[in-house]
Amino acid sequence: MTLTDVLELATPAPATPEPRRRRRRPKIGLWLGVGWLAAVAFCAIFANQLSFIRAYDTKIKVKGRTGRYNIGPGWRTWMGTDASSHDVFARCIYGAKVTLTIGVLSTIIGLFLGGLLGVMSGYFRGWVDRIGSIIVDSLLALPPLLLALLLVYRMDDLKGIYTWLGWLNREWEITLTLGILAIAPFARIARAQTIALRDREFVLAARSLGAKSGRVIAREILPNLIPAMLTVAVTGLGILVAAEGALAFLGLGVQRPLTWGKMIADGQNDLARAWWATIFPCLFLFFTVISFNLIGDRLARRFDIREAAI
């Protein structure tokens, strides 16, 4: 028996990679999601140029007269009219513009602040981590919608008291509020990922070469956070859009143009008579949320992130 034979016996055979039994899942969901969001975003951005979208204030007349819910869904108005004879479809599109803008901007705010908090907690640990986790726990201890109601309402008040807050309009109030709500989840995932990364070899290597903390964070940690943060951001967008809807439904939304939540609230009492005034905004909200979830789910699979897969 030669030495090579012994070695061969001693080394276990490399595990044969398990054949992929599962077919690759079709990406229909992903493309449906992207398609819906692209279509809505396109209509919302070019609402004033597209001829099939009526102007926001156009009232639709039947035999020369306006009336409550005077037309149901059909050729003339695709989604019927609302209580003041406005085109529901057009209003949904104008609402989409506000909702999507608020969603994206507040995600950016949450991503920035939450990411900062999470990376600091995860990288420095110790008392920084303690304080960070108390901030995150406090943000999570109040039910998000309650926190949002408080923030929006008080910002409204403060605007009247301090003149330097005059630039705050409803859009900005809601954007800031939802941005604050988004801090906690981003901070959590950033912290968890940073803790996992900071003991990896390449980070140790950078540190032992004498790189300062700032450089290690910027050059080694942050680039590796992008997949997880992106996934959470997309899934979070769905949640924020739903939250904006809930705020609007509770009466603290943007007043003009109306958003979906407010339209649902307005149609609430006439549900039996004019289902279209409620159902179509509902569908817009549902399709938008599920689109973000579909894309987020795909990203989570792609980057193999479990926390975001809820």
The residues binding another protein (CB under 8 A) are 22, 133-134, 137-138, 140-146, 149-150, 153-154, 157-158, 161-162, 238, 242-243, 245-246, 249-251, 261, 264, 268, 271-272, 275, 278-279, 282-283, 285-286, 289-290, 293, 297, 306, 309-310
Say whether the peptide bond before residue 12 is cis (omega within 30 degrees of 0): no
Distance in angstroms (rounded) separating the CA atoms of residues 274 and 271: 5
Distance in angstroms (rounded) separating the CA atoms of residues 166 and 7: 78
Residue 147 and residue 174 in contact, taking contact as beta carbons nearer than 8 Å: no
Residues paired with 87 in a beta bridge: 81
* Of residues 215 and 251, the one with the C-beta less far from another protein: 251
Residue 111: CB minimum distance to another protein, A: 20
Residue 177: CB minimum distance to another protein, A: 12
Amino acid at 9: L
Residue 285: CB minimum distance to another protein, A: 5
Q: How long a stretch of residues is the chain?
A: 310
Phi, psi of 286 (to 5 degrees): -60, -50
State the virtual CA torsion across 193, 196, 199, 205 in degrees, nearest 10: -50
Residue 304: CB minimum distance to another protein, A: 13
Burial 205-236 (b: 16+ CB within 10 A, else e): ebeeeebeeeebbeebbbeebebbbbbbbbbb
* Of residues 85 and 291, the one with the C-beta less far from another protein: 291
CA distances, 265 to each of 101, 143, 250, 276 (Å) = 21, 21, 8, 13
Residue 149: CB minimum distance to another protein, A: 5
How far apart are the two ends of the chain, measured CA to CA in Å? 56
Residue 85: CB minimum distance to another protein, A: 21
* Of residues 9 and 272, the one with the C-beta less far from another protein: 272
Q: Residue 68: how many CA atoms within 13 Å on its side-chain side? A: 9
* Of residues 31 and 206, the one with the C-beta less far from another protein: 31
Residue 137: CB minimum distance to another protein, A: 5
* Of residues 222 and 282, the one with the C-beta less far from another protein: 282
